[in-house]
Each structure stands twice: as C-alpha cells, then as structure tokens.
A = this chain, B = another copy of it.
Amino acid sequence: MDQQDDKPSGQGRKPITARELAQLIGVSQSAVSRAFTPGASVSPKMRERILTFARELDYQPNAIASMLSKRRTNIVGIVVSDMENPFYPALIERLSRELQKIGLQSLMFNVTKGSNIEDQLMALRQYNVDAVVIVSATILSAATLDWATENRTAVLVNRTIPDSKLTSVCCHNSEGASAIADHFYELGHKRVAYVAGLAHTSTNMERQGAFITRIAELGLTLAANLDGTEYSYESGYNSALAIAAKGSVDAIFFANDILAAGGLDALRDEAGLRVPEDIAVAGFDDIAMASWPHYSLTTFRQPINQIVAATVKIIRTGSAQPGRPAKTHLISGELKVRKSTIGTALT
C-alpha cells in the first residue's frame, strides 16, 4: 500500500528552462521555442545565437511541456504479451527502431492474462500516446481494444479481430499455409498433419483453415489435426510424439517455428525418426533459429521488415485513425525450403 510517499530527495539540479535561457540571452521566450522548431520563422543568425547559448548552458526543451501544449506525445504505445516466441522480440525491436528514426518513442505495455487487462491498459489511455500498436497474441476482446484505443490511431500487427474496427497488418497466413501444403504435395507426401498453436488466435485459425482446405484440394489425407493450447517448444514436442505414436504420417505442418523446433527434436531424439527421410517438418515465421544448421527448418517466412515498414507507414500517414475505414494489410511472405523437408541443403 505504499505509494508515492518518497520525496524526490536527491533528484539533482533542475534543468534550465526556455524562459531562463531567453532572459540570459536577452530575447523572448518565443524565440527560443522557434529556434528549436524546424521550419519556424526565425532568422538564421537568431537561431544560431540561441542554439549556441543553449548548447553552452545545456538547455534542452522539456518534452513533457511540449506534449501538453502540442497535444502530441510522439510516443507510440506497444501492447505486447507473448515475448516467449522470439518472433515478437525481433518484431518489436525492429519496430521501435524504425519509430525512433522518425522521432517516435515506444512505450511498452505488457499485458498478462493473469490480471485485469483493462486496468493494465488504463495507462495506455492516460498517457495520450499518438498511436497504439497491438502485437499481442493474447486474447483482447474487440470491446477492450476499442476502449483502449478510443480516438487514436491503432494498428493490430500479426492478428486480426473480426468485430473490431481496427486496421491490421498481417502476414498472408493463408497463402503461407497453402504454400506449405503445396510443398508437401510436390514432395509426394500423402498423409500430413497439422499442429495448432493457441487455438483461437487469428494466426492459428487462418493457417489451419487454409492448410486443411488446400490439403483437401490436393487430395492429401489429413492424418492428424492436433489442437494446441500454446505456441511453445514443449507443446510442439508433445504433439510430435503423439503423432509419431500413431504412425503413418509423412509430413507435419506446425503452426509456428517454436512448435516445429520442439517437434523436430522430439521426432529425432525421442521418436528416433529421421527428418526429413522418415517424416518432413515445416513451420511458420522463419525466426533466427529456423536457419540454424541443427534445425534447418523449412518454414514460411514472415518478412518482418515489410511488416514493420507497413505499420510505420500507417502511423506516419495517419491512416488507421478513428474516422477512416479499417483495412487489413496483407504482407506476402516467402517459403524458405530447408533440410527439414528436403534432404539436401538448398540455400
């Protein structure tokens, strides 16, 4: 129950303000403000003079005050939940880096299924972030999301929500799943299996749906279709063992690379099968691990750079604002064929 009782005891020297700087130089405070505003109407020599003094006196504009008057924070809120999957840290790092390049900072909001999500997202509203990016696979209801992102630019990344009016950027999941199906077909596999991730996530449903559809079109047999409760190594591991126990499956498509990694290890180390000779394995995402020699995992690559670029563009141009119609931006991925489906190196 102890809260903000501590005084800012040793918070150090208070930084100089624009007003003080102005007085020291003998100009108006407005001038100082303009000197720091690109494209403002100041004479070059005035600006020069002010900037010189500023440097000398170690003045820097207070961003908080600026936010208040501009009613613009230059902060993007990033709602995150599933940091276990290396795909997300990689995505978030790139995203925050690209945002930084255009002067935007990233405020991270970790949502955990444990506690009340609305409470956790309360701050998201109060901080008046300019935009919100949701990269969380965790189930946030359309209602919660609309509430949290009310009146601001918001982008869903790597997921869609049917009833929400939010713009989203997604890898073309169904295209990817179909490509995997085609790949299995071309390799001559007859009996294939799907191993799900977190069942009701949009990524899982799209991949599963497209894969099963395509399998049927190609006349292949869906020998197993395992429901999953999470995108984890363990889950992939156990699912693979279950499939191996049943036997007579030629190829498995795991909903993502982490699952596939677990599956691959289980098949080789515990089931004693050879991959891909006895059974082929494919994943989805193309995380760093997928290209490690040990795994050399065939997977459908999500182009993080393009996903990030699209997201940043949406934020920059202010599409995805409350008024605008929601759009789903589908980013095309790319099948990366590696040894887990083909015995010899290709790349």
Contact = CB atoms under 8 A, between A and B. Distances in A.
A269 B108 CA distance: 40
Interface in A4-44: 4, 6, 8-13, 15, 38-39
Interface string A310-335: 00000011100111100000000000
Contact of A293 (B92, B265, B317): B265
A75 B128 CA distance: 14
A100 B126 contact: no
Given A318-B6, A321-B10, A62 B294 contact: no
Contacts of A123: 63, 100, 105
Interface of A: 3-4, 6, 8-13, 15, 38-39, 60-65, 67-68, 71-73, 75, 78, 80, 83-84, 86, 88-90, 92-93, 96-97, 100, 103, 105-110, 112, 120, 122-123, 125-128, 150-152, 233, 237, 262, 265-266, 268-270, 288-289, 292-294, 316-318, 321-324
10 contacts: A4-B323, A8-B72, A10-B322, A11-B151, A12-B152, A60-B122, A105-B123, A105-B127, A233-B292, A265-B294
Given A64-B67, A78-B108, A93-B110, 13 more contacts: A10-B318, A10-B324, A11-B322, A12-B150, A15-B151, A65-B68, A75-B107, A83-B90, A97-B110, A97-B112, A100-B123, A107-B107, A265-B292
